[in-house]
Structure 1
Amino acid sequence: MLRSLYAGISGMKVNQTKLDIIANNIANVGTTAFKSSRVRFQDMVSQSMSDASSSSTNTGGVNGKQVGLGVQIAGIDTMVIQGMMQPTSRNLDVAMDGEGYLIVANGPIDGTIPVDDKHTMGTSTLDTSYTRDGALTLDDAGHLLTSDGLRVMGYAIGATTYDATTGVPTIKFVDANDKTIKAVDGLIPLSIPNEMEGKDGSLHKVKSFSIEKDGTIKATLDGGGIAAIGQIAMASFNNPAGLSKVGKNQYVSTSNSGQAVVRSGLGADAANDNSKAYASMLSGMLEMSNVDLAEQFTDMIVASRAFQAMGKTITTGDEILQDIIGLKR
């Protein structure tokens, strides 16, 4: 059978995959913090019709003769470059200007994740994943969540406890203007309560809150004073392109992404402080998709024409076979 038939089939298959990826990229052009993908091709094994030979006294060397047997997918890469920043003027929207992912989890509200002195996370009852989608929300108890209800993890600053029945947090007042603030080791689900203890020890309503560039959440109380109530944690990876997409703008680590390296909290010792290597959190903004429509449509044209060309090699091979069969009348 003609080799061109099978080479044409392989070309149609890989270009169909390329069109699938392009379609997914275009479909997510408006998805918050979406990272586009690309596909790379490589040739299949080549059949040797004759081997190469070296030169001799009377003749020169001869190159080998090989016939390629088609094409296959070399890899599908996630393009982790940052998307544009879109202002929203919403204080619960945060965008990461640089490297880093939010750590989100589901599980018990009082669950914690230990972090060792190498900034890696230990085992926990919480099921963690990662996201750059900073469109955060609050629930009825004041817990800080993603739009899918996953809890945003971070460092406690004031002592935090939770009501066993309602899950409503109680956070001890820590003056945000205190230069010696130190985050509590380990990650907990963060909350922005409706009311909390003030400077005088009595309960005060939280009038407003803000998220600083380092992830610190500050609350302004009606009785005066500004409290630091937590710090949003951030993780990075040696190979962020190796993260696995699990839908809903979430990623999980894989054996090739490496372990999550957690940004150190406020007040960390200078020897262990890695916070300057991470992105700044921009409140009131969201990161947009990094899909370039002009590039995607150009790739679509190339892939569709390549698909048509591969189909033409199959029909041409079929015509040749028909001619061969017609030799016998």
Structure 2
Amino acid sequence: MKSLKGQIALVAGGTRGAGRGIAMELGAAGATVYITGRTTRHEISEYGRPETIEETAELVNQLGGQGIAVQVDHLIHEEVQTLIERIEKEHGRLDILVNDIWGGEYLVDGNTRVWEHSLKKGLRMLRLAIDTHLITNHYALPLLIKNEGGLVIEMTDGTKEYNSENYRFPMFYDLAKSSVIRIAEGLAHELKQHNCTAVSLTPGWMRSEIMLDHYGVKEENWRDATEEEPHFVISETPRYVGRAVAALAGDHEVSRWNGQSLSSGKLAQVYGFTDIDGSQPDCWRYVVEVQDAGKPANATGYR
């Protein structure tokens, strides 16, 4: 990976999962990383999860970067505005913005129809997935465009190609994840004149803290989960998509991706990085060619 020393990054929603993996890899490349989220060592969000933004900042520091934890609810305009003012005061620039705010896993009511799904949960999901990204962009982009070469990464689930061909139950979830892809496309048009780049990016089947807990495994024995879900064999760590972000941030020709929908597996083939175990999972090709095709789980040739 190319050095990102001197680069200032904001990982909005970096408490756990992809956000944590991204913050870690940006730190490993030498960047200064602001990590936002709602859960701190003194206050827990509605998630009720144990991971904190301070832990993420410490992991960034251990890898050679500078991690700065800031408690922010990205639905509260004033908190986001104050965050950006702080970044500008302390560094005068913002080079990398990663919008990984989500917070909707526990709001999804399975494969329910729109009239069956909790309306309260569904609308909350959309606010967390879409409003947060728009609010953050509104306040952060004036700082990012002060310098040419800025990069915005909108994190989602699924590529544009996959989501356009497959309905992602329930409707609220489908709208949440597809809308983020459209946000990135819109930003690409608006940022182009400032020589900045915007893309959407998806991990594959990610071994987040929540997913590992779901299967009752740890990272060390994650393969035990394949006994319950054989296709989990294609899964990847959050640091894999983190390395995808670091690769994009270190690419002097990153504008070639402007407006595109990207995946960790696709970028690994282009930039040559691997997951922490040395493999290169290509999840979305696997999902189409093996999982959705009804074939037995077998990751040979896909990682």
- Check whether TM > 0.5: no
Structure richer in strand, relative to its length: 1
TM-score, normalised via structure 1 length = 0.21
For the pair shown, which has the larger CA radius of gyration, 1 or 2? 1
Q: Give the number of the structure with larger relative contact order, counting CA–CA contacts within 8 Å between residues 6 or more apart.
A: 1
Q: Give the helix-richer structure, 1 or 2.
A: 2
